A and B are shown apart, each in its own frame.
Chain A
Amino acid sequence: MTVKQFFKSTSFKCIISLLCILLVCGVFLTIAYGFLEVTDEERLNRAISKIYGEKVSVEKAPYEGYENDKAFILEAYKDDKGDYLVKSKGTGGFNGTVTCWVLVDVEESKIVKVSRVTIETSDGETFLGDIDYLDKFPLTQYKDGFEYTADNGFKTSGATKSSTAINNAVNGAVGLVNGILNGGFNEQV
């Protein structure tokens, strides 16, 4: 096939058509992205507003990664009241994962309770996806007067297997905050 034949061939038309469509779509999406971009900071502010129900200023908590075989901490923040907001991913139960925001209330450098647990995503067979606030969820621990120990972890009453992932996520968050408050991370959660 000569060069002239190639330029007149169906193959060339196909390549040009596809490239033109790709170019137009690419330009369109680039322009749209310029107008509709949502930054990480904006996402964080939205998540915080959803959890607190109002705008609250937070600062990144001083930690450098924390994980065990049951939970993985994705983000941690300290709000202006001194409470900690932790994004934690828990595993276990029916082999799914639950990523949730856990609000750990702190008074006088001591954990007093977990006031809110908001599920962000749940992947796999966790059978958990609609828990929002702690007062809607039957808890046996983390009430006023709670004292953190490795054995006194977050535990739900009922649905024990399907709640394993969320228990682990919350315990991971509490373990992290406990570690921060005591100047070192507690690996036992």
Chain B
Amino acid sequence: MNKYKKITLDGLIFQNPTLMLVLGTCPTLGLMNSAMSALGMGLTVVVILTLSNIIISLLRKVIPNEVRIPCYIVIIATLVTFARMFLEYYLPDLHDSLGGFLALIVVNCIILGRAEAFANKHNPAEAAVDGIANGLGFTFALTVMGIICEVLGKGSLFGLHLWNFKIGMFASPAGAFIVYGISIAVFVYIIDGFERARRVKANKLARGNLLKEEA
């Protein structure tokens, strides 16, 4: 399989940071009551994760191993601070809706995790693809769960009123936790189904080859 295709599929599906690795849980639970905030947070993480991966990959041979984590934190904190300034200047509503969770991206384990596990071992192009894929995987999961929570908890979708029926619990972190758990279960079940089908297909192919050889 193409190297970049594998990195992309891993980030989006097979190692989805939110639904498979259960990383970045704090902003996930905090921002799931609004689909727009979830989407905004996800896209912000895509940009920060991609840039941090590229910078860390470029500096991987310069940064001594002993101080790599403080260096990563400084780079990520700089990018997050810049993102905060940018959003406050150009998108103040999104900045306000993300609140304290925007600053908490600094300690988001997805970003630090990808820097440590991937970016410091691969070239900038691969690190960039990994950043985009993982960021989009996080955005996809957060937005889908945000839509579910907003529809159930507020009776609206991306701020547009749908109906008056609402279950208040789903607009709170407690309801978000339930939706998060069910989403993980459903996602893992679907991925597991694909994996099983792929294994069965591979086994059939291997058996067919074996029979051909015996014949």
Bitwise interface map of B from 52 to 90 toward A, beta carbon under 8 Å scored 1, else 0: 000000010011101100110011011001100110110
Q: Is the CB of A28 within 8 A of B86?
A: no
A3 within 8 A of B: no
* Minimum distance in angstroms from A127 CB to a CB of chain B: 7
B113 within 8 A of A: no
Q: Which of B82, B89, B172 contacts A29 (CB 8 A)?
A: B82
Q: Which of B33, B89, B99, B172 contacts A38 (CB 8 A)?
A: B89
Give the interface SS of chain B, mostly helix, strand, loop or mixed.
helix
Give the interface SS of chain A, mostly helix, strand, loop or mixed.
helix
Q: Is the CB of B92 within 8 A of A46?
A: yes
Bitwise interface map of A from 100 to 127 toward B, beta carbon under 8 Å scored 1, else 0: 0000000000000000000011000001
* Minimum distance in angstroms from B62 CB to a CB of chain A: 7
A188 within 8 A of B: no
- Chain B residues lying within 8 Å of A25, measured Cβ to Cβ, are 74-75, 77-78
Q: Is the CB of B86 within 8 A of A127?
A: no
A10 within 8 A of B: yes
21 A-B pairs, CB-CB below 8 angstroms?
Answer: A10-B64, A10-B66, A14-B66, A14-B67, A17-B63, A17-B71, A18-B67, A18-B71, A18-B74, A21-B63, A25-B74, A29-B82, A36-B86, A36-B89, A37-B85, A38-B92, A120-B96, A121-B96, A129-B33, A129-B171, A130-B171
List B residues at the A interface (Cβ < 8 Å).
33, 59, 62-64, 66-67, 70-71, 74-75, 77-78, 81-82, 85-86, 88-89, 92, 96, 99, 154, 168, 171-172
List A residues at the B interface (Cβ < 8 Å).
10, 13-14, 17-18, 21-22, 25, 28-29, 32-33, 36-38, 46, 120-121, 127, 129-130
